[in-house]
Amino acid sequence: MRTPLPDWPVFGFVDDVRPVLDQVRSRGQPAVLATLVAVEGGGPRPVGTQMVFSPSGDEGPDLVAGYFSGGCVESDIADHAYACLEDGIPRRLVYGEGSPWPDIRLLCGARIEILLERIPPEDPALASLLEAWRARRPVDWLTDGSRRACGAPEAVEDWPGTFRRRCDPAQRLVVFGSDPTALAIAWLGAQSGFETTLVRGKGPESAPPAPGLAYSREAPAAALAAIGTDAWTAIAIASHNLELDREALAAALPSGAGYVGLLGARRRLEERLAPLRAAGVSDEVLGRVHAPIGLDIGGKSPWAVAVSVIGEIMAERFGGGAR
């Protein structure tokens, strides 16, 4: 008999299941990967959303991560997942119209289809997926439930019954600053699942008291070089210091970061950009700066600014439109 799902579904906070798959693999245990492969009628989660189930053992308790419906079907999916762990037979579960379980209803009225597959720790496709995750390389994950493949986007051909899922690197956030607003931005970023680093050059040796938050005492250029930047990296400059803002902008704008935001009044933007403009940085590059940083939600408290900044980064990431 499986362990019931927790009363408080904090497991649903997980959106990227790769760290959990890595944890299960390191325990030498199999996992069931559940993938939402079809949605009709506007369900709460998009196609490609995933959950992971792994049994308890000598290496630790049950692991459950992700969610599909906000509580309508997760417990039933868990029953099927643990059955899949036992017999290794993949399953396609349908909830909503055409479901063999009409008593299990989605309150949104949607129809969803979920693929369950048992993945052993030695699975080659899983190894490729996790290797790419660590190296921050985008890959495609292809599966029919029994056969899997993982490779560079569009490099692996489909076969009959294949579901293809794009797996991009995890969202990364770098925050420059030391005051409560900078700390709130970094803290909320870490809570939101971003790989977050707070950079405070020559700051205290002790790290910020925020779980999951990395810390750097380097100067901006050295910090970004050590952290690394790519299209999935967001940089928030929130130092309230003119020279540090300029130094951070000089390091951030030529980088591969997909988002660069600057805290401060619009009327003071030009004095921060002037040295870069004088050095020959093009208007196109300077135009990458989101300033003032964040969505205009009207609040100026540290948490209000943090919500606006993380909201803008997510809007950019998910194509959420204008400021």
CATH 3.30.70.80 matches 172-318: no
pLDDT tens digits for range 71-115: 789 999 999 999 999 999 999 999 988 888 887 877 777 899 999
pLDDT number for residue 108: 75
pLDDT tens digits for range 191-235: 999 999 999 999 999 999 999 999 999 999 999 999 999 999 999
Question: Which range has the top average pLDDT, 74-78, 129-133, 282-286, 313-317?
Answer: 129-133
pTM given for the model: 0.92
What is the average pLDDT value for the chain, to the nearest integer? Answer: 93
pLDDT number for residue 9: 92
Question: Which range has the top average pLDDT, 53-67, 176-190, 281-295?
Answer: 176-190
Over its C-alpha atoms, the chain yields an Rg (Å, rounded) of 22
Other CB atoms within 10 Å distance of the CB of residue 126: 22
Starting at the earlier edge strand, list the strands of the sheet with 111-119.
Answer: 63-65, 50-54, 31-40, 111-119, 91-95
Neighbouring residues of 55: CB distance < 8 A, sequence distance ≥ 6: 2, 29, 62, 82, 85
pLDDT number for residue 323: 45
pLDDT tens digits for range 219-275: 999 999 999 999 999 999 999 899 999 999 999 999 999 999 999 888 888 888 998
Domain residue extents for the chain: 10-123, 172-318
Q: Report yes or no: 33 and 150 within 8 Å, Cβ to Cβ.
A: no
**Could you say which DSSP state residue 61 is in?**
S
| Rounded CA separation 72/241 (Å) | 49
Percent of the chain topping pLDDT 90: 79
Tokens found for residue 288: 């990458």
Element of type H or E holding 26: helix 18-26
pLDDT tens digits for range 158-188: 999 999 999 999 999 999 999 999 999 999 9
